[in-house]
């Protein structure tokens, strides 16, 4: 349950708008999860100058079948997957559509293709993870979230309509840029956006505090809360200025835990979070808020990340 949840209510209706031009790479293995990812992306209503790259990766080390099935090469199966999506799913609204077949390890191959094509967004589907250890250590989607240099959308379930979106902000440049990126997308008319800021518990010892220390502690807490409320209010005003219906909430607790509770209570279809640009083992080992959200959120997750040079260039155009 959210502690000290405080809502900033209101909102105005808005009409449908087209987002800015984007290049989206959607990785597919022919599974229902990958198909859902493509359908979800197209639900944004991309600008007619946007580009879609559909990528199928034939994995090394997969045993060849026996009998007549062995005559079918991995590339042939990949072509069949892409052709099926082309016929049944790919929207005619895209300005350009590229179909690409590659061989290699899926996570690394997808990331290399995204870097080579300078895409703005990677979209992947996530299978159910009843075996949590397999999901934590081997999931293609999680490795892409950890190591991508661009935003990643992970779609976990079928979404008939994008009705509710949650944006988690914490005052960092990454969170601001994540919210700004959402404005580049085109949401359906009925979508409601909730801006959430969660204040982590302030550190203090277990021993009783002196009266003066307790008063100072409470003052710091009020200042942090007021800063969070200002950030949420500014974000709401920005969203409404772009024609979105929006409200906000400020809560106290562990950020990932409280955001996940909020997503469940609102039955959100998408949560948007920023991620700091960690690299190598640091990124893999650090239990970041965005990593926890990507792992455990029941809805689709958009994790925003950008390279350091892009962070500096966008500093003058922050969301808040």
Coil/strand/helix, residue 21: coil
**Cβ neighbours of 232 (radius 10 Å):** 25
Question: CA dist 173 to 111, 179, 246, Å?
Answer: 23, 10, 21
The residue range of the domain holding 283 is 3-317
Question: pTM for the complete prediction?
Answer: 0.80
Domain count, the chain: 1
Bridge partners, 57 (sequence order): 102
CATH code at position 238: 3.40.50.12370
- Count helices and strands (H / E) in the chain: 11, 11
For residue 216, the model assigns a pLDDT of 74
**Could you list the mean pLDDT of each consecutive 10-residue stretch along the chain, which spans 320 residues?**
44 46 93 92 84 89 50 69 93 93 92 95 77 51 88 91 90 75 81 91 58 71 84 88 89 92 96 69 54 90 73 42
Quote the pLDDT of residue 45: 73
Listed in sequence order, the DSSP H helices in 148-210 are 173-182
pLDDT at residue 60, as a whole number: 63
């Amino acid at each position: 349950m959210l502690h000290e949840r405080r809502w900033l209510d209101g909102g105005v209706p808005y009409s449908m708008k087209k987002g800015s031009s984007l290049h989206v790479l959607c990785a597919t293995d022919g599974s229902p999860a990958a198909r859902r990812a493509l359908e979800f992306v197209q639900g944004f209503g991309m600008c007619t100058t946007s580009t879609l790259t559909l990528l199928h990766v034939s994995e090394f080390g997969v045993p060849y079948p026996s009998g007549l099935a062995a005559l079918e090469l991995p590339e042939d199966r990949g072509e069949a997957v892409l052709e099926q999506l082309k016929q049944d799913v790919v929207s005619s609204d895209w300005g350009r559509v590229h179909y690409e077949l590659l061989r290699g390890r899926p996570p690394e191959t997808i990331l290399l293709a995204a870097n080579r094509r300078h895409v703005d967004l990677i979209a992947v589907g996530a299978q159910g993870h009843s075996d949590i250890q397999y999901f934590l250590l081997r999931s293609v989607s999680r490795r892409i979230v950890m190591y991508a240099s661009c935003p990643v959308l992970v779609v976990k379930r079928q979404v008939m309509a994008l009705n509710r979106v949650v944006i988690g902000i914490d005052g960092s440049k990454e969170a601001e840029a994540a919210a700004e990126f959402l404005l580049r997308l085109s949401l359906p008319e009925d979508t409601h956006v909730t801006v959430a800021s969660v204040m982590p518990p302030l550190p203090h010892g277990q021993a009783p505090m002196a009266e003066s220390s307790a008063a100072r502690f409470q003052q710091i807490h009020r200042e942090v809360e007021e800063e969070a409320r200002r950030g949420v209010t500014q974000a709401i005003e920005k969203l409404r200025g772009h024609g979105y219906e929006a409200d906000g909430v400020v809560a106290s607790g562990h950020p990932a835990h409280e955001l996940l509770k909020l997503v469940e209570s609102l039955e959100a279809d998408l949560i948007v979070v920023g991620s700091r640009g960690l690299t190598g083992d640091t990124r893999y080992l650090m239990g970041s808020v965005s990593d926890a959200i990507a792992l455990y959120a029941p809805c689709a997750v958009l994790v925003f990340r950008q390279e350091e040079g892009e962070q500096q260039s966008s500093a003058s155009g922050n969301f808040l």
